[in-house]
Structure 1
């Protein structure tokens, strides 16, 4: 199986010193990476301004949905949230339902996906 999202894309999604327009103060970790409160990333998601139904499609249309994610500044946070919460439907963080299930099956040891992805650790199935 070929996943839409590779490790490099996950790391690129965590751009240092990203700016936000939410009006809240920004917190950065020791590596200069922006740290979000749980759920805050949603306000910065690219898909927020589009048709939500575009992310809940089947078949070849899923590639188009994943392409939306590739341009998103919070792709990694979205994927971590979907994996942590075992979201079953739709394209989240650039991965389809099937791809997320495969990642979860092959990485049963991961208990906090946000931390795991941010650390740059290997993710089996991607």
Structure 2
């Protein structure tokens, strides 16, 4: 299920925002905050659809997001990621459910 108001549920909500807007190797440390975040996908879709240039969003750096945007410049990332999540959920359900 897609969470519209995702920010209050984010794993990083209690962190200082400056921890997500770092450079170089510090970005890998910032990305670990996203591991296991219940709204990681929503966060990433927000950054991609709004072409947010700075910071770690949804576990991806600005460089990683730019690479995705170059591959699919007109994509609705929310739609793509929401569909991918649904497809992954269907595959994980045991047969007969």
**TM-score of the aligned structures, taking structure 2 as reference length:** 0.82
Gaps of 5+ in 1: 1-33, 122-126
> Equivalent of 2:20, from 32, 51, 55?
55
Provide the rounded CA distance (Å) in 2 between the counterparts of 1:108 and 1:52. 27
Q: Say how many residue pairs are matched.
A: 85
Equivalent residue number for residue 71 of structure 1: 36
Equivalent residue number for residue 12 of structure 1: none
Equivalent residue number for residue 80 of structure 2: 116
> Equivalent of 1:104, from 54, 64, 69?
69
Q: Structure 1 residue runs of 4+, over 3 Å off?
A: none
Provide the rounded CA distance (Å) in 1 between the counterparts of 2:8 and 2:74. 30
Equivalent residue number for residue 80 of structure 1: 45
> Equivalent of 2:60, from 91, 95, 108?
95
CA RMSD of aligned residues (A): 1.4
Whichever structure has more helix as a proportion of its residues is 2
**TM-score of the aligned structures, taking structure 1 as reference length:** 0.64
Deviations 1:31-88 (A, max 9, x none): xxx2322xx0011001111111110000000001111011211000000000000000
